[in-house]
Structures are given as C-alpha cells and as structure tokens.
Amino acid sequence: MFWNIVLVVGAIGAGVAMSTKPWQAYREQRKIADQKIAERARAEENLVSLAEQRARLESPAGKERRAREQGFKKPSEEALEQP
C-alpha cells in the first residue's frame, strides 16, 4: 500500500514536472497573441478615425471650411479686415 502511494505521488510529480515547459510555451504564445489583438484593435480604431475625418473633409461643408481657412470667400462676400 505504501509503495502504491509513493508510485502515484511520483507519477503525479513527474507529470507536473514534464508539463511545465508546454505551459510556459502556452503563456508566451498567449502573451504574443494578446499583443497582436491589442495592436489590431488600435489599428481598427485608427482606421475608423481616419474614415470619419475623411468623410468630414470631403463633405461640402468640410470643403467650404477648408477653403475659408485658406482665405477664399464667396463672390458675393466682402473680406473682413483684420486689425
């Protein structure tokens, strides 16, 4: 009976010892995967932001705002004098 317990405990210990490297590799791979997922999320957020910015700039109101920022005015308007 004693030897059976020693054998089972030894087998469990050997199994745990042999499984540490695969678990370590799993943790490293999981860390890399999590980093890639975070990078992709940031890239998608950036893409959405750029698409919104492009839509604003290419709209008629956006084009007019940019033209006015560059000093253009409508033919019927008079330029305001800056002090």
**pLDDT score, position 34:** 97
Task: Tell me the residue type at 33.
Answer: A
Tell me how far the alpha carbon of residue 79 is from its chain's centroid.
46
pLDDT, tens digit, for every residue of 34-54?
Answer: 999 999 999 999 999 999 999
Count of beta carbons in the 10 Å neighbourhood of residue 10: 10
80 pLDDT tier (thresholds 50, 70, 90): low
Which residues 6+ apart lie within 8 Å of 79 measured at CB?
A: 73
**pLDDT score, position 19:** 84
- Written as six digits, the tokens of 65 are 């705002």
**pLDDT score, position 79:** 63
pLDDT, tens digit, for every residue of 3-36?
Answer: 888 888 889 888 888 888 888 999 999 999 999 9
